[in-house]
Chain A
Amino acid sequence: MRADVAGPGPRPRRPAIEVAAERLLEGVIRLFGVSAIGFVLAIFFFIFREAAPVLFSREFHLPEFLFSTQWYPTSESNVRYGTFALTIGTLSVTSVAIVLAVPFGLGAAIYVSEFCGPKLRETLKIVIELLAAIPSVVWGFIGLTVMSRITTTLTGAPVGVNLLNGGVILALMSVPIIVSIGEDALKAVPDSYREAALAMGATRWQTVHRVLLPAARNGLLAAVLLGVGRAVGETMAVLMATGHAVQIPHGLLDSVRTLTANIAAELGEAPAGSDHYRVLFLTGTLLFLITFVINFTADLAIRGVRRE
């Protein structure tokens, strides 16, 4: 046995400066770790700080803000800040997108996860990842040019940039999220479930339908919710692809405007500090809260999966 290892004497210590540096670094790591909370709070704080004064303005009434369809922010004599038509705009575009995206997204997730071979799976996953990377302004441009022409040709609508057009674009944008989260949810179901179903003589479809879908229910719900979240929050694509009419749509071929697009369209021309400017920030606060609730619910759903 070598004496310098086993011999008596004080334990070797690291230099104090090194230990101090490590402590400091770990402090910084902790600080940045906690920073995410700080950023979320800061986002809420700074948006609400710009919005708050309007709550006490004479021109502003909260019920009108929420439930009136009259949006005349720049009118000389009759200023109205009703966002109801915009809320309906957001809801309708999101609904169209979700109705289209959920079956296709979940169908593709099931195919990628359960039916296709490993080679095809890799290829599909890469393509889906690339689809998810297409910038929203490019989607908007596609909606404005290519898709709107297809929409007018197929439906005979007078204007191509409308609810249907925006909904289709949003659906295409939400599908990659639904596929990737949905596939994760299906993959999280233990293989023993599949083996058990197989041993009972079930076909793949029967396995998916009777075993995997019920088992992955929460994860699939989260996938759909995150898809909804993306659709609600999307700005540039709907700004460019849905037309600009502030109105409650009566059909798929009417133009609409969403809460997000409205901010993007008008913030540039609203003088800082004006009621109009503050109302736009208030709309932002509303959007922040809506997406917070959606994400929170999705998180709870995913957490439910992990518990099981």
Chain B
Amino acid sequence: MARFARSAHVARKERSEALARGLFFVMSITMIVPLVAIVGYLIFKAAPSLSWEFLVDIPRRGMREGGIWPAFVGTLYLVGLSLAVATPIGVLAAIYLHEYAKDNWFNRVINLAVINLAGVPSIVHALFGLGAFVYAARFGYSVLAAALTLAIMTLPVIIASTREALASVPMAFRVACWNVGASRWQTIRSVVLPNSISGILTGVILQVSRAAGETAPIMFTGAVFFKAVRRGDLFPYGLDDQCMALSMHLYTVSTQVPNVQESIPYATAVVLLGSVLAVNATAIALRVWLRNRKRW
């Protein structure tokens, strides 16, 4: 069978193929394995503090002991409010960009603006929030100013994922609808939105996880190191109050407060990371479920 033996050239080719495959595999794994290990380590270090009590209790003894309730509720407030502002703007903006906008220079500028909005550093958003909402609009350091800053920061997330959801509705659906005499908006309302609503929802969920994790934009617009709140109180903040937030709390207990009980910063990090990843996993699960259900 010598006729079919591999020539030196083919052997070399296959060697480099195997080498490349192995190398790229290792590269993909290198960034994942250590991280899983690190997250495991965080949970291990946090274990002494992790309990229901930690979540609903307030920080005690200058944040050296106790729980994270005010920060947890503060994050819920900020995320909820920013969601309420960013979702309608983001979804409607995406509808404009995908369903109405023609490919001309003006709409290219809008696209550029959206991309740029996504790329602005978070600390620059913080400066903007401080200049625009805290001082110019006179909201002061407040939940409202911080949530608005977060809303503008997370707007591109909603716009991008809504556009993707709209783009996944086949053009033929729209054309069919126009041909029976529906107007542009009637088509969007009765055909495009019902077929993309779950995709849009995914984007909104992603916005939640992004907003929950941000620290810099709220640091100077409304989040504070400490605020006295009753244990387990669900409505501790008004719109014009300052609030605590999980991400800010993690920064505070890990860098600003000396002699914190060691497991507290770890536990705070685990709660923040866990919430964000859980929200993201929900979005991913929703997307996978959607794709499997798709009939076209």
Point out residues on A near B: beta carbons under 8 Å: 22, 25-26, 28-30, 32-37, 39-40, 42-43, 46-47, 49-50, 103-104, 107-108, 110-112, 115-116, 124, 126-127, 129-131, 133-138, 140-142, 144-147, 172, 175, 203-206, 208-209, 226, 229, 232-236, 240, 260, 263-264, 267-268, 272, 280-281, 284, 287-288, 291-292, 294-296, 298-299
Contact = CB atoms under 8 A, between A and B. Distances in A.
Given A42-B128, A136-B214, A138-B273, 6 more contacts: A36-B155, A39-B155, A40-B116, A46-B136, A49-B131, A204-B20
B152 interface: yes
Interchain residue pairs A-B with the least CB separation, the first 5: A135-B213, A33-B96, A233-B121, A107-B27, A111-B24
Contacts of B121: 232-235, 260, 287-288, 291
A288 B113 CA distance: 13
A235 B247 CA distance: 13
Contacts of B25: 111, 115-116
A43 B125 contact: yes
A240 B16 contact: no
Nearest to A208: B20
A272 B136 CA distance: 13
Contact of B254 (A112, A144, A204, A226): A144
A33 B94 CA distance: 7
A43 B284 contact: no
Contact of B32 (A28, A49, A131): A131
Contacts of A104: 27, 30-31
A116 B20 CA distance: 12
A140 B132 contact: no
Interface in B66-114: 88-89, 92-93, 95-97, 100-101, 109-114
B100 A111 contact: no
A10 to B, nearest CB: 15
B25 to A, nearest CB: 6
Contact of B269 (A29, A130, A141, A280): A141
Given A129-B284, A281-B127, A124 B28 contact: yes
A70 B103 CA distance: 49
Nearest to B108: A303
A26 B100 CA distance: 9
Nearest to A101: B31
A76 B135 CA distance: 27
Contacts of B132: 42, 46
Interface of B: 13-14, 16-17, 19-21, 23-25, 27-28, 30-32, 35, 38, 41-42, 88-89, 92-93, 95-97, 100-101, 109-128, 130-132, 135-136, 152, 155, 159, 183-186, 206, 209-210, 212-216, 219-220, 247-248, 250-251, 254-255, 265-266, 269, 272-273, 276-277, 280-281, 284
B116 A292 contact: yes
A126 to B, nearest CB: 6
A33 B184 contact: no
Contact of B31 (A30, A35, A131, A268): A131
Contacts of A35: 89, 93
Contact of B119 (A107, A137, A233): A233
Contacts of B273: 134-135, 138
B277 A133 contact: yes
A34 B276 CA distance: 31
Contacts of A138: 213, 250, 269, 272-273, 276
A30 B123 CA distance: 29
Contacts of A295: 112, 115-116, 118-119
A47 B31 contact: no
A37 B35 contact: no
B21 A236 contact: no
B92 A28 contact: yes
Contacts of A229: 119
A233 B120 contact: yes
A39 to B, nearest CB: 6
A49 to B, nearest CB: 6
Contact of B112 (A134, A144, A280, A299): A299
Nearest to B216: A235
